Chains A and B, each alone.
Chain A
């Protein structure tokens, strides 16, 4: 297929209609059909194959792509060319000129526009029959019901907090209803390194299970940046961590504001000159304060390809899917390793138990807590309870205790609605427990 497209390009203008007719022809999926039409030596047991499978892939499945950046562009391209025809994409970002070297769905005239919207239009124009629905905004602004409509979620994010959020949301959905288990395929790259993983919420380890494996953000000792700078980065951190709050007081540093970066750059340059340090540049200043990691287009291509193959395998059962973590290390020759990251029993997101607690309509909160303490399956003695509006009752620290103690005497029905979830922690529990209340 790639060769045919390439020929079209090299043959010049006349061939553009050739590409169109090729793409419009369903037989362009001939290669993929070979693995979907019949069983092979590695086909998984559940595999049925044939029209039903192809129909599910091309007509029924609905995929959500989170992120339309470096990984997102590759993922959208791959999914569309694999035969997924109902793709949704969400991204809060707008296109920056510096994206254009690798985010190939964007052109110079698109700078400033929504990544999701431009990417969706590009893919729809390029690949006939594919519907891409864009959402310009934050994933956190969509309710659980939004995520319920998809079969698979593929994430190409650059933010840990966004990953933690989507992971926690999908785990919670699966905990509440097994039917709502949505596989999450998470890709990530950092320079020559990358990873692809398959998360089956509540079944496999989740993103939060492996949070301890992440390298914490680079930080230099504050005493070094204050007194004995040796690196250009020390001068930049001095400007952003110490000088900015000193000079601008309450005004917060906005790392997206070029004027703010310029100020930091000037300060850092002066300090670097004073200490005879070379290498402070505008780009490095921006890189340090925004924690920019070099993005390499081909690493994105490798990781996105891996993620999309997993999406195809999960959607069709044509081959066993990744179990469950593939790391790719390209900066010391090439090394890849696939392993099963195990569930962490004390994971605050998926390790916690989820249970239903019955309560009588005339109970106070205190009576309800007593019933929790009496439960044999919990074995707790000093529980702290939170709900959607914050702390419901915490026995400590003293301030929070004083603020939440009046809740003890209130009728439970005034505090919590039917099916409203609460989170319980206790010194005796390694994890939190999600409890939904059922009034009897």
Chain B
């Protein structure tokens, strides 16, 4: 599953994340529809919106709001006026009904055009922009349709084309509430068709149309959607934390912080979403309505993403069993536990510090009464405190030093506990014990290494004696001029193998001495360039015999290092001997001496005769050599000896294999 290109749980989860909110929105809408009893009947009859009760109520609301605006304006109470008011006065021609026409500009816009006439004060109020400039009341009145949806009120008589408002007197009763004499007012109004402004009527119409579509299907769609949503939960849960090509749950930093902090972060993001939703608070035309809706959408999206973020981290934590551990309560529990463990030291410190403070306060108190005594006391208290602290620090530094010494391999430390403060006495004893134990362990190890070397040396002596006879008598046998091809062949094998056994015993002793460090070094400054020339001279004939061309490059200056010349020679002799044995005939051998970064590198490169299907580390292990070379000359200890000897001389010995290229780098500090 993890090998496929697509991580299916993750893809499914993401599909759920997209689909689920859509379904949820539909579901909520449906539930709202079903719990909207007022319009149930209208929806069932599939009535036109204009025939619904909701419309009637919205229409009434617009009129009531217009009327109360007018009343408030007349009472000089502007607090609820949501209009700019323009006045056309003194020029109201042709009619003695009114003297002034007030034009109420509505920020929000209204789909209801209205005209309110105050007969008593001879004033008219309207939201029809015809009222601006020289005009007559009749001209304004003409703008109010009497054909479509209208609602007129005159002399307590209601005339309307809205069925739902015909027999309902609550509109006029509301108007009458607002004024002592409703008869003084004439109200004309009509609906703008089609609707132009995003007012309550418009919004109700959208909702109603949606309801009209959804409600008939809601009864059986709701359970289906609920089941789908429930089914989504495990799918989403399954996909959380899965990643392509990664086994198990992938956690990010958010999944590792305290769950409470994660919650607050999610909450904060949610709050940003809320902020978005409330950015456009005043809607006065279609543009702001659309922008507002967009912001609300973005806000909801942000809130939704915050929810997902929190949901994912909770699920991931539950999956990896870290939920409890990342709660604040657990964190606190841990802290308290740690604190109580450190309590001893801490409580001591608190006691001392309190005593110090109290002593200071007392001294200060005395200072006010007896300045001289106070100052002396203050100085004494602080000097004493300083002494205590500095003793403590000195003691602590000694502990630190001792641990540093131990760390750097100095195991012969013996601390005198009297040098330490009371608190560190036990520690100093413990450090002594550790140092003792450590040096014992090291001595034991050295001893066992020495014993091992001794054993190997002794065994090799015991082997050498019979081996001497074997070699000598084989040699004597060869000189006997034995007839028979086979006999001579066998003799050759005996000769070869006994010589190899001899080399093996010698190498074994050397390897064990080199690796146990039982070698006394005589370090001196020597010239690597000279050494390489010398060794190349030694091996020239052997290289020529194997048709190997040696290419040496020297640095510009002489390359001096510090080493034991005999053992460094042994190292390089081993390498040269290896090259002459194992390098492919007719190839070039590169020997580079490089002076770089204050180090001298001797790099030897050659092409192997045989396939090197083996790692460099393995190659360096004792007895391990390039495959199939077991039957050739040499003991296989050469590389191991070379490395041990190099390291004894504080050098570094590395082998690199690249295909058939065999490369050895020997590195020393430049002197």
- A and B associate in one complex: no
What is A's interface to B at a CB cutoff of 8 Å?
none
Chain B interface (Cβ < 8 Å from any Cβ of A): none
